[in-house]
Amino acid sequence: MSGKPHLKDMTLEEMEAYFAEMGKERYRARQVMKWLYQRGAQSFDVMTDLSKEFRDKLKEMVEIRDPEIVKTSTSIDGTKKVLFQLEDGHKVESVLIPGKNHWTACLSTQVGCAMGCLFCFTGTIGLKRNLRASEIVGQLIRLRFETPEGASVKNVVLMGMGEPLANYENTLKAIKNFTSDYGMGFSTRKITVSTCGIAPKIVQLGHDIRVNLAVSLNAPDNERRSTLMPINRLYPIEALLQACRDYPMPGRRMLTFEYVLLGDFNDTIQDAKKLARLLRGIRCKVNLIAFNEFPGSRFKSPSPEAIRNFQQVLLDAGYTTIVRTSRGKDICAACGQLSGQ
Ligand code: SF4
């Protein structure tokens, strides 16, 4: 590892301050940001609107390289799983999901994850380390070049390996660079942070930046949720839903609750009714995800009938409820299947 500071670990304001310390004009940061994020520059040599002397100085002092793609697998449904090698040898995965006119990039925020959700393969690995902001944003910079000609990445979801809110500062910096006019220029409407339910960080995120929020709920009561998701012992459903109520979703946007349906565990009509009561008063929609079995998992996939019945109860209760088709199952790119291997 070079040990040099990485420019993509800095927000625009931080880069301006860094350049000012070097005796350079603050507007240089805007120039450099555009090269890094909009033109995907991987070397200072191409930054021809900077003086040779400044480029040489930057080369000596800072790093700008993005994680390297070491493997790409493509599913029969077109979903691509991309394996990245980080500077220290660790590996993480991202997923590119094709839509009608646009692609969605699902990015990782940690190497592994400490949260230990029982239905998730990433959770079995444990946490190796947090990703730096440059490693989060670097996945997207590389992925933009992996879509077919004419199709671009329009949505970003932080739903890959790791719990984004457990790596709060770096995740926030990455989001700032996704959404900066001098960065990647995404609207905050196109960014979704998915969390297992770190209640105080949900509230903090709402104060710091207004992106879409998806909360992984997965059970209609504390007993079963604590079994599935250890975080529930710290922030039980009541605390989590209060944080969701306090989350300032702008305009007509809706919060999303993710619910992984596990066969014979949380997929009955009674469970759906309980869930409908629980979410009353929250402007939200529900995504149902049929569990993807993985080697050694103790749960099984729900039956198609159970999925249909569960959805119908929520629809009848007035919730927009979508059964998310799992993409990329054949290449282990579906929800909860990422391992970085
Ligand atoms: Fe971590 Fe998310 Fe998997 Fe839970 S579901 S173990 S928070 S990666």
- 334 has pLDDT over 60: no
Distance CA 340, CA 83 (A): 7
Q: Which of 113, 244, 332, 335 is catalytic?
A: 335
| Per-residue pLDDT at 254 | 95
The bridge status of strand 103-107 relative to strand 153-158 is parallel
Structure tokens that stand for 324 in this block: 């998310």
Task: Decide: 158 and 192 in contact? Cβ < 8 Å.
Answer: yes
CA distance 185 to 153: 12
pTM exceeds 0.75 for this model: yes
Answer whether 196 contacts ligand 1 (Cβ < 6 A). Answer: yes
Residue 185 per-residue DSSP state: -
- Are 260 and 216 contacting, i.e. CB atoms less than 8 angstroms apart? yes
DSSP 3-state of 127: strand
Q: Which letter does DSSP use for residue 6 in this model?
A: B
Q: Is 66 in the pocket of ligand 1 (CB under 6 A)?
A: no
Mutate to test the pocket of ligand 1, among 93, 110, 120, 218 (most ligand atoms within 8 A of CB): 120
Distance CA 65, CA 6 (A): 8
Of the candidates 16, 53, 93, 135, the residue annotated as catalytic is: 93
Helix (H) or strand (E) holding 196: none
Measured in Å, residue 211 CA sits from the centre of ligand 1 at 20
26-47 pLDDT, tens digit each = 999 999 999 999 998 999 999 9
Residue 93's H or E segment, with its range, is: strand 91-98
Identify the pLDDT of residue 328: 67
Listed range (240-244, 292-296, 319-323, 329-333) with the worst mean pLDDT: 329-333
Query: What's the confidence (pLDDT) of residue 12?
Result: 97
In this prediction, residue 338 has a pLDDT band, given cuts at 50, 70 and 90, of low
State pLDDT tens for residues 92-131. 999 999 988 799 999 999 999 999 998 888 888 899 999 9
**pLDDT for the residue numbered 96:** 95
Q: What is the β-pairing status of strands 284-290 and 320-324?
A: parallel
109 lines ligand 1 (CB under 6 A): no
Percent of residues, the chain, with pLDDT higher than 70: 95
> Are β-strands 91-98 and 68-74 bridged in parallel, bridged antiparallel, or unpaired?
unpaired
Mean pLDDT of 273-278: 98
189 contacts: CB under 8 Å, gap ≥ 6: 212, 253
Q: Which of 95, 110, 117, when mutated, tests ligand 1's pocket best, judged by the most ligand atoms within 8 Å of its CB?
A: 117
